[in-house]
Amino acid sequence: MPGLLEDKTLLATGAASGIGRAVALVAAREGARVVVSDVAAEGGEETVRLVEEAGGEAAFVKADVSRAEEVESLVDAAVETYGRLHCAVNNAGIEGVLAPLAEYPDEVWDRVLAVNLTGVYRCMKSEIPRMLENGGGVIVNVASILGLVGFANAPAYTAAKHGVVGLTKVAALENSARGVRVNAVCPGFIETPMVMERGVEAGAHPEVMAQISALHPIGHMGRSEEIAEATVWLCSDASSFVTGQALAADGGYVAQ
């Protein structure tokens, strides 16, 4: 049976780790050639190795999504490497720090917005024209449940992710009739370095892990692969009538 992304090229940013790496692996399993991008070269090369070990095809391109010229070069490299860009998963993101709005460090605010919101804007700005000139494509922006609801002490992250959801709707309205569908996926708390080793450091604090797990009606945190499966479905023709949506993959978090 052909895979969901047979003969497609998929670009994933932030793919050296966590959700982005899982997207690369699931997309490759479904037949895609994957352009793995990240600021972290070692992890990115490791993702390529894991894809190849599983029988897939991938190439690493280093890029910082907060830098316009690097994003443009990345999208050019993806098209040059595999001939066309069918799917883009704009996933790179950072957590910032946990602090109330009134005490939030301005330099962290600027960086979180630059990577998590402006980075997605820059990626779509480069990806959409390449997709339009080559017969269409699909974009999935990795937002968050914090793109749908607020979370105390995460003002920059919450604002950026709400922005990603808004930007997703705008891009979908502008481009869906022209052949480019645009959606967002909104993960709940997922067991990646962002949550386990940094941010709330759930890996080091069992009581935090239990508190975070209890926030999800399903009773536990999610795995990167679970977000990757939803993302790849959104990238595939199986979701051909879905556009402008923010799909919560969150164990029921925002249903409460």
Q: Which stretch binds ligand NAP (CB under 6 A): 51-59, 79-87, 97-105, 191-199?
A: 191-199
Measuring CA to CA, which residue among 231, 67, 243, 91 is closest to residue 170? 243
Query: Burial code of 103-131, b = ≥16 C-beta within 10 A, e = fewer?
Result: ebeeebbeebbbbbbbbbbbbbebbbebb
CB 89 within 8 A of CB 8: no
- Cβ proximity to ligand NAP: between 77 and 194 the closer is 194
C-alpha to C-alpha distances, 27 to 172, 190, 194, 200, 249, nearest whole angstrom: 22, 19, 22, 29, 17
Structure tokens at 225: 């692969």
The residue among 72 and 136 lying less far from ligand NAP, judged by its C-beta, is 72
Q: What is the smallest separation between the CB atom of 54 and ligand NAP, expressed in angstroms?
A: 19
CB of 106 to ligand NAP, least distance (A): 18
**Between 40 and 132, CB nearer to ligand NAP:** 40
Contact call for residue 16 and ligand NAP (CB under 6 A)? yes
Shortest CB 197 distance to ligand NAP, Å: 9
Per-residue x/- track, 129-168, ligand NAP (CB under 6 A):
-------------x-x------------------------
Nearer to ligand NAP, 128 or 228 (CB): 228
DSSP 3-state of 168: helix
What is the smallest separation between the CB atom of 129 and ligand NAP, expressed in angstroms? 21
Q: Count other Cβ atoms within 10 Å, centred on residue 242.
A: 15
CA–CA separation, 181 and 62 (whole Å): 26
Burial class (CB in 10 A: 0-12, 13-18, 19+), 53: exposed
Q: How far apart are CA 248 and CA 124, in angstroms?
A: 21
- State yes or no: residue 104 binds ligand NAP (CB under 6 A): no
- CA 59, 60, 66, 71 dihedral sign is negative
- Return the residue of 8, 12, 32, 64 that touches ligand NAP, per CB under 6 A: 64
HSE-up of residue 104 (Cα within 13 Å, Cβ side): 23
Candidate residues 24, 25, 28, 39; the one interacting with ligand NAP per rule CB under 6 A: 39
Q: Which is nearer to ligand NAP, 138 or 212 (CB)?
A: 212
- Shortest Å, Cβ 135 to ligand NAP: 27
Residue closer to ligand NAP by CB (options 135, 211) is 211
Q: Select which of 82, 104, 121, 157 is catalytic.
A: 157
104 is catalytic: no
Residues with a catalytic annotation lie at: 157
Q: Contact residues for ligand NAP (CB under 6 A)?
A: 13-14, 16-20, 38-40, 43, 64-66, 91-94, 115, 119, 142, 144, 187, 189-190, 192-195
